[in-house]
Chains A and B, each alone.
Chain A
Amino acid sequence: MGDLLIAVRAVHFASTAMLAGLFLFVLFVGGPVLLRASSGAAVAAFRTRLLAVGWANLAVSLASGAGWLALVGLEIGGHSSAELISTNLLPILLVDTRFGNDWLVRWGLSALLAVSLLRFHREHSWRSRRESWVAALLAACLMGSLAWAGHGSSDTADWGSVHLAGDALHLVAASTWIGALPPFALLLASAHRIGGEHSMAMAAEATLRFSRLGIVAVSTLLVTGILNTLFLVGSLPGLVGTTYGRLILVKIVLFGAMVSIAVVNRFQLLPQLSDIKPTSGPALSRLRRNAWIETGLGFMVLAVVGALGTMPPATHAQAWWPFPWRLNPEIFEQPGQRLAAAGTVAMIAAAALAIAGALYLRRWRWPMIAAGAVLLVWVGSRVSLLMTDAYPTSFFLSPTGYSAHSIATGRQLFADHCASCHGAEGRGDGPAAANLRPPPADLTAEHIYSHSDGDLFWWISNGIGEAMPPFAIVLDETARWNLIDFIHANADGRRLVEAMEQGTTVGLPLPEFSVDCPDGRTVSAGELRGQVIQILLAGTRSSSAAAEFAGPDEHREPAIVVRSAVGNSPSCSVQDRDLLEVFAVYRGTTPDKIEGTEFLVDASGWLRAIWWAGLTPDWNDPAVLAREITKIRRTPGQPRPATTHVHAH
């Protein structure tokens, strides 16, 4: 059914674009040009042909629209086609969903366009210029309202309406160009048939007007297309690494071909039509042929559009990186290499400028090409400076959302599968480490932050050399992502403890959590932002003031108590095994030994400090704790280098 939906969508886009394009063509090109035409009979025949094209496309648009609606209904209901009619699904779909509402509106617009076609006269198009405007506006609405049936309609973000408006404009611009091409070709055919000086002038004027209309359409397509690509593809890996992105690339190539043909029409063929020359006849034929080629390319674009809407946008899919290297995002952060990297970027820009200049400055063409080539060779020898190794999964995003459950699961998996080589704390010092070449990596070292989650995923999945086996065979994908979450939390914990010992500042991300408050509300970590909060792991044996939260049962796990670090607000608490495990990872111990540990979280939600009995200075001294809190309030946290832990979709 997926292929059928793609085909039906493609046909609907094509017929609606042709219908809308026809009205826009009459308004901006056909109407004004034909006003000055001399041969009444030939022009009337041309208008009859236009009208036939209009009716045919309206019929196909209505039929394919109904087919699209039926296919969506079948997919939603999971029903057979007989049930779709017998149950009340269709009315509910039409009345209660955005898609159905859109279809009702579009049927109304189609009816108005039918009235408009009835009023189209073969002698003089519509009666007035105003009626032509109204008809074109209705047609543009029919095309633009397809945006509400696409991905733009589901964008819930603040820019959702920008996305939707961009989509609608893109559709109207596409129909202005692709849909107006067949009427334009028909007009050229009529001019050819009539022949003579007058019809050649008519063809020249039509080409000039169509070309101006095309420039507006192409600029609109460019701007809105870039906007939509940013919304739905978002990144280079999304463009080259997902089916959606690759189809967008196909679309861009087809678009480029269409623009190239349009440029030839405008700058090479149009001048030959201007006066009667021996070349104007062949030029007119070539123009007609080019218009049909452009139409064909345009239909291919619309077929791609038919497919795009049925598949998840690249921002929602994992991007499979096709190159063995990628731009090193840290290159400009390393002081020693910053200058060299900037120089290389400047050289690339200079080489590009030289080659672009060679295209335009004929006199300097060969020297500039030579200069560009020399620069390129030089850059080629240095480009590795900017690059770093990459793997197919380098841009994969973790689907776990860095949850406490994921970190806790990863902790157990790490103990079972990784600790024998990498060590219980991930320092690369497990019992089996000694004989391994290369030695197991220290997963607590700073470098762990410079690899993307996707890099780690690749190494865990496929192993490294002979020393590390591929774990894709034993661990499912989720388990491998859980391990990565644990590795990050564990490295964070070591950094946190180290920072406490050395008096330096760190800011570490906490997993999402929520706590129950005395007033009966459940408060999430996000809602606690804006103040420094203290987290206490309170058990019956803990000496902290929050011991009462642990309850009377001695064997119960410590309660996680959360309260504002300043003032006297009531404490909230939660019994959460997973979260307890996470705090144990930070401390570098097991949950049964973590009682009495305290943490401080800053106003931005970064984990900033850890303390347990025996560490100096002693947080049990209110003055010491107050000093620590003041320090956290005064200095912003230094968030650890960003990983690709983007929110899960």
Chain B
Amino acid sequence: MRKITAIALLPVLFGTVPAHAHAFLDRAEPRVGSSVGTAPRQVSLWFTQNLEPAFSGAQVLDSAGARVDLGARVDPANRSLMRVSLKPLRPGSYKVYWRVLSVDTHTTEGSFSFHVGQ
């Protein structure tokens, strides 16, 4: 019985192995899923590879779906770091969407949330 369960689960596990493309979000500030007391003035996204600035971007949306960012740009000194400037944020939940092109020509995208206020 246990063996059958295990075999039945194989495709489940196999299928959910993340099909990574190439530039992954290494970490972010505010941290992925975190709650911060004070409103950040920007979101910083560190990636595992250098990005192509011409084809990399990010947006920050509030819970109503309105854009609260002032644009994203790749740091010229560190091409694996993208900064998104923010309008003044009120307490609430925010979602960051990013879509980037790594220098080895692979596009990746993803999103995460953070929360402002207690």
Contact = CB atoms under 8 A, between A and B. Distances in A.
Interface of A: 72, 75-76, 92-93, 96-99, 149-151, 153-156, 309, 312, 316-318, 320, 392-393, 399, 401, 403-406, 409, 461-463, 465-466, 470, 472, 477, 512, 514, 516, 522, 524, 556-557, 574-578, 647-649
A401 B27 contact: yes
B37 A576 contact: yes
B52 A156 contact: no
Given A154-B23, A649-B24, A577 B53 contact: no
Interface of B: 2, 5-6, 9-10, 12-14, 16-24, 26-27, 29, 31-38, 48-50, 52-55, 80, 101-105, 107, 118
B106 to A, nearest CB: 8
Given A96-B54, A320-B17, A512-B31, A156 B107 contact: no
Nearest to A316: B20
Nearest to B48: A649
B104 A154 contact: yes
Contacts of A477: 16
Contacts, number: 120
Contacts of B27: 401, 512
Nearest to B16: A477
Contacts of A461: 9, 13
B97 to A, nearest CB: 15
B35 A76 contact: no
Nearest to B14: A320
Given A154-B50, A316-B20, A472-B9, A149 B37 contact: no
Contact of A576 (B13, B34, B49, B107): B34
25 contacts: A76-B101, A92-B55, A97-B54, A97-B55, A99-B52, A99-B104, A154-B22, A316-B20, A320-B14, A401-B27, A403-B31, A403-B33, A403-B34, A404-B34, A409-B33, A461-B13, A463-B2, A472-B12, A472-B13, A512-B31, A514-B29, A516-B38, A557-B118, A576-B37, A577-B35
A320 B17 CA distance: 9
Given A312-B20, A574-B37, A470 B9 contact: yes
Contact of B21 (A312, A318, A320): A312
A470 B48 contact: no
A575 B37 CA distance: 6
B22 A316 contact: yes
A155 B101 CA distance: 14
